[in-house]
Structure 1
Amino acid sequence: MYSELISIIVNLLIAMLIPTAVVLGLTYINRDSKELLVRKYGFSSQIWLGCVGIFIHECSHAIMALIFGHNIVEFKPLILPRNVARNDSALGYVRQTWNANSTYQNMGNLFIGTAPIWGCTLVIYWVSKTTMPNVYQFVLSLEKAATSYSMLKVQQVIANPNLFANMDMTSIVTMLIGLIIIANIVIGGFDLSPADLHNAFGAFIALYLIVLVILSVLTFLGFGSVVSAWLLKIMTAFVLLMSLSLVLSVVINLVLRFLNFFI
């Protein structure tokens, strides 16, 4: 029983640290991408080339704040370049208040602070599905194969990608538009501010302790193996879901580095 409990404690920590690492990784990569843009093309470039992402970023904050019962005092999803100086260089913002005595609202800070990661990822999947269905189906097939823990299935999917099958000129143009939108989302949407990360940190600790108590009770009731299997599935699903955002973020960062070096 106690060995199962220790296993649950470790697995839960890993299950929560993996999303944390992904969030911090996406923030670092895309913050660097915006710095590359600003350094080479000026401050306004991150707005023009990341406006869709900035808009989704702030809307994600606002939607999650409403879900957790926060009171939105002021909401600006996108600030145009000519107005940025008057707003402390913020590209957009959501200002909200909440009841400090409410566990639910305090816990919401974790999800509100990291909401742009989930919001931008979901929109990227939707844009992929709408503008490049072949790529979307390939990603889904690859994720399904990975969740089956079968390297053979993964190799089969990679060996037969069919990414550009049955594509006419309209499909190619649509795909290019989709790529431009996705690049815009990646550049502007994934950079969490220090305030976002600060608000999420305390809520992360509280959430870990609450979930740990619940899972510990389930383990003492004899559901240890079920809990372990559930945690493994959650970790795998999250990594696969975020893999597209991670790959796109790295690719765009490398492209910007390439352009800065040669141009």
Structure 2
Amino acid sequence: MLKDILTNIGLVLGLMIGVPFLFIYLLSSINHGTKQRIANQFGIGGQIGFGFLGIIIHEASHLLVALIFGHHIDQFRLLRVPSADNDTLGYVHHTWNKRNLYQNMGNLFIGVAPIFGCCLSVLLLAKYFVPEVYQSLMTTAEQPLSQLVVVLPTFNWLSMGLFLIIAANICIGGFDLSPADFENSKQGFWQAVICLTLLAIIISLTPLQATLFSLLIRLTVIIVVISLFNLLISVVMNLIFRFI
């Protein structure tokens, strides 16, 4: 029993924190490099031109998740034109009760919220512009890991072109987590680990553990497929600006 509980704890922490944070690191690193190249070639303001949608989604994601976790919003700006004195492209200033476990844990998810917000936005964008690709992604995500096969469907090139332009704007402006975002996430890391560990123990003691863990694995596969899709777009945009 103890061995099963420890295995389940490792599975929950790995799937709920390990896998998402691997893609968070990769997506943030690649798009930070892309934004830096844009700033070097076109000035700080160039980041708005090439990534304004992503910036808005980035800050809106912080804002929404902060509200979900009961934080008080002091002030926010979804998009602002940077100046020589202040190169901030947007911000959400929030406060919370440091004695409240739920609000403290929320800092982890508030800090990394833009990654999930932008992934979801690109996914919905694909559903509207290239439904064939969207359906292929969903079909792939529903396959067992041992039988995972990605099939590239046929699609309309005009719709795909529009999709890639908008998705690139989201990726460039939205996936770059700032040092402040990572610092904010650290404040809720251990609270989240404790809560997930307790959740894993509770699930392990119920007769529904097989069903619940199966759903967790399926959710993780969906996150991986969507993240790989966004990672591909991010890498392509990074290469384009590397050679411009």
Q: 1:214 to 1:177 in 2, by over 3 A?
A: closer
| Amino acid aligned to 2:154 | N
Aligned to 2:163: 178
1:205 equivalent in structure 2: 190
Q: List aligned pairs for 1:84-123, cutoff 5 A.
A: 84-86=83-85, 88-123=86-121
Give the secondary-structure state (helix, strand or coil) at the position aligned to 2:79. coil
Partner residue, 1:196: 181
Deviations 1:87-108 (A, max 9, x none): x311110101111111111111
Q: Residue 62 of structure 1: CA displacement? A: 0.9
Match of 1:13 in 2: 13
Matched residue, 2:225: 240
Matched, 1:253 2:238: yes
Aligned residues: 243
- Contact kept in structure 2, 1:54 and 1:185, CA below 8 Å: yes
1:253 and 1:207 mapped to 2: Cα distance? 33
Deviation at residue 130 of structure 1 after TM alignment: 1.6
Instruction: Check 1:236–1:138 CA distance in 2 against 1; reply closer, same or farther (3 A cut).
Output: closer
Identify, as 1 or 2, the structure richer in helix. Answer: 1
Distance 1:7 1:38 in 2: 46
Per-residue CA deviation, residues 3-50 of structure 1 (Å, 9 max, x unaligned), is 212212322232121111111111111001111111222222111111
Instruction: Report the Cα distance in structure 1 between the residues aligned to 2:207 and 2:155, rounded to whole angstroms.
Output: 47
Identify the residue that residue 41 of structure 1 maps to in structure 2: 42
Task: Using the aligned pairs only, state the percent identity.
Answer: 37
Counterpart Cα distance in 2 of 1:133 and 1:217: 39
Match of 2:129 among 128, 131, 137: 131
Q: Residue 147 of structure 1 contacts residue 237 of structure 1 at CA under 8 Å; is this kept in 2?
A: no
Task: Tell me how far 1:138 sits from its aligned partner.
Answer: 2.8
Q: Residue type matched to 1:85 in 2?
A: A
Counterpart of 1:52 in structure 2: which amino acid? L
Distance in 2, Cα, partners of 1:65 & 1:116: 12
TM-score, normalised by the number of residues in structure 2: 0.90
TM-score by length of 1: 0.84
In the TM superposition, 1:54-65 aligns within 5 A as 54-65=55-66
In structure 1, stretches of 5+ residues that fail to align are none
Unaligned runs of 5+ in 2: none
Q: 3-state DSSP class of the match of 1:80?
A: coil
